[in-house]
Amino acid sequence: MKFIIDCIYLLAALAITPTVVYRMVRYGRYRTGWSNRFGRITRKDPALKKCIWLHAVSLGEVNAAKTLVKELENRFSDFEIVISATTDTGFARATAVFGANHKVFYFPLDFSCIMRRAFRGIQPAICLLMELEVWPNFVLIADHLHTPVVVVNGRMSDKSFSKYKKIKPFAKEIFRKLSLVLAQTDEYARRFIEIGCPEKKVIVTGSLKYDTAQITDKVEGADALAEQLFGKIENRKSKIENVLWVAGATGPGEEEIILDVYKQLAQQEQFSDLCLVIVPRKPERFNEVADLIMQRGFGLIRYSEIKGKATEDTEKKIINHKSSIINVVLGDTMGDLRKFYSLAIIIFAGRSLVPLGSSDIIEAAALGKCTIFGPSVYNFQQTADDLLAAQGGIMVKDKQELLQVMEKCLSEPTFTEKIARNGQNVIRKNQGATQKTIDRIAKFLNNA
């Protein structure tokens, strides 16, 4: 089977090479980490400790792993933890969060020879896969070496489920070799079982993302961000942060909708103090969105150009809606989205009005903010359902509904506060998955 898989990979590699090269040249992606991708990985302390290999694909999975890694550190200090990621953003985030104490590297390409080299270098006692990163050769080699592979925070979206069903005979051979699947919901558990996981190996533990979401009204660095945007608090004529709308982690085709709605709102006298911040999901789109903001007739304020600065000139530039030009702030820095969220009165979760599955709605709701999202929420389906059922979030299907909901939220503060409060309560009630996950993993580690 490994030979067949390798042949398929080789054909796929030949097909996508032009795309990879283009992105390397055009966007600067995939330029680093190739030694890791070809399986050359060394641990920090291979001689003295057993090893836990945790793989988190990208930014969301890395963030979801934070409480899990912390608990593993506390309960299994005799194990070294190594963390891999696939994307550049995932690697950067993993390095920032875990790099001081743990080895962070790019996930190897799933060719059998490369993956064998990686396993020789890491020698893991257990492999933990965040959500659904089940690579065939990875699983086959781990099975051959009698290394347990556990899917944690398991999730199988409609799209992934449909794909796996098309290759179910093959998928079943891989999924049945998993040691354990700790699924987020009953529905995801059912899908894992249908694809081929033995029912006794699938357990519902809830979503780790609820645990990593900090339920708070205050975020470190938010005050400094407010000063950079709006000037020193004693010089402000109003608490401008209370009328801030943040569209976070937006996707292609979505910014146009947001800008059109904002223009209609800002031209109404009662909403003339509303400020908009747009933070695209991918850094390579920063310039594209900057151009779009100007093409739509707005003034552009790039946060990267004012970060660290707070002047009266900056304040006037941002909040002066009496002029003919309305300004929009572009969040074109990394690591500041949560700070923007903490200053907002309303948050729109991006990648949900376009078919991309939504950005993190848990984080927004946990901060006690009125959270709005579109119908494409397959990455957070259970959370979206829970928020809607508890009136802790608002779903809009298109631009017109978004405009109507924004008008209602801005006109009725009591309604907005109720949505925010209910949403935060939903997040609070669903926490606890980390402890359930650790308890299940412990049964493997205690025998390692």
Phi, psi of 375 (to 5 degrees): -80, -15
Whether residues 336 and 424 fall in one domain: yes
> What's the rounded Cα separation, in Å, for the pair 444 and 8?
33
| pLDDT at 240 (0 to 100) | 45
Q: Is the pLDDT of residue 21 over 60?
A: yes
* Amino acid code (one letter) for 192: F
Amino acid sitting at position 159: K
Residues 399 and 271 in one domain: yes
pLDDT above 90: percentage of residues in the chain:
73
Taking 70 as the threshold, does the pLDDT of residue 309 lie above it? no
Residues 154 and 289 grouped into a single domain:
no
More confident residue, 247 or 319: 247
Q: Is 41 helix (H, G, I), strand (E, B) or coil?
A: coil
pLDDT tier at 324, thresholds 50, 70, 90: low
- Whole-model pTM: value is 0.80
What domain range is 397 assigned to?
222-429
* Tokens coding 362: 């848990």
Asked if residue 290 has pLDDT above 80, the reply is yes
Contacts of 249 (CB under 8 A, 6+ apart): 279, 280, 281, 337, 349, 350, 351, 359, 360
Cβ-Cβ contacts under 8 Å for 322 (sequence gap 6 or more): 272
Angle 411-414-418 from CA coordinates, rounded to 5°? 125
With a CB cutoff of 8 Å and minimum separation 6, the contacts of 417 are: 370
Q: Are residues 278 and 311 in the same domain?
A: yes
pLDDT tens per residue, range 167-222: 999 999 999 999 999 999 999 999 999 999 999 999 999 999 999 898 987 899 99
Calpha distance 208→433 (Å, rounded): 5
Euclidean distance between the first and the last CA atom of the chain, given in angstroms as a whole number: 28
- Do 87 and 106 belong together in one domain? yes
Q: What is the pLDDT of residues 124-142, one digit of tens each?
A: 999 999 999 899 999 999 9
Q: Do 294 and 322 share a structural domain?
A: yes
Clarify whether residues 292 and 145 are in a common domain. Answer: no
- Tell whether 3 is covered by a domain: no
φ/ψ bin of 104: left (φ > 0), alpha (ψ from -120 to 50), beta (otherwise): beta
Residue type present at position 264: Q
Residue 252 pLDDT > 80, yes or no? Answer: yes
Interacting residues of 96 by C-beta distance below 8 A, sequence separation 6+: 335
Query: Tokens 């054909």 label which residue?
Result: 11
Q: How confident is the model over 143-150, as a mean pLDDT?
A: 97
| All residues at 6 or more sequence positions from 398 whose CB lies less than 8 Å from its CB, including other chains | 257, 353
Residue 294: give its domain's CATH number.
Answer: 3.40.50.2000
**Amino acid 317: pLDDT:** 53
Query: Is 439 in the same domain as 376?
Result: no
Kindly tell me the burial class for residue 331, based on how many C-beta atoms sit within 10 Å of its own C-beta (0-12, 13-18, 19 or more): buried
Same-domain status, 179 and 131: yes
Domain count, the chain: 2
Distance (Å, whole) CA 164 – CA 171: 6
Q: Which pLDDT tens digit goes with each residue over 339-362?
A: 999 999 999 999 999 999 999 999
The answer, yes or no, to whether residue 306 has pLDDT greater than 90, is no
Specify the CATH number for the domain of residue 26: 3.40.50.11720
Q: Give the sheet arrangement for strand 394-395, strand by strand.
A: 299-302, 327-330, 275-280, 244-250, 346-349, 370-373, 394-395
Coil vs helix vs strand at 151: strand
